[in-house]
Structure 1
């Protein structure tokens, strides 16, 4: 819900920032090979 609110406020740039942060968390917590990179 919070992520959606931030997305609505910041638009595309906010969405890209959130995806980057979540991707970093996933990569830090799991083998990177299991997740495709979006950037």
Structure 2
């Protein structure tokens, strides 16, 4: 039981970290794009 719970927590953590990395990368990309658009406008 404990092993299954730990595995689930690790899986959730890995997905959470992957999700955070995706959000951060997209946020940086969108931020750069928005900066360029603001400069153009």
Per the normalisation by structure 1, the TM-score is: 0.51
What stretches of structure 2 of length at least 5 have no aligned partner?
A: 1-13, 36-41
Specify the alignment match of 2:24 in structure 1: 20
* Count of residue correspondences: 22
Per the normalisation by structure 2, the TM-score is: 0.49
Specify the alignment match of 1:11 in structure 2: 15
Larger radius of gyration: 2
Task: Provide the C-alpha distance between the structure 1 equivalents of 2:19 and 2:25, rounded to a whole number of angstroms.
Answer: 10
Q: Superposition RMSD on alpha carbons, in Å?
A: 1.1
Runs of 4+ in 1 over 6 A off after TM superposition: none
- Kindly indicate which of the two structures has a greater share of residues assigned to helix: 2
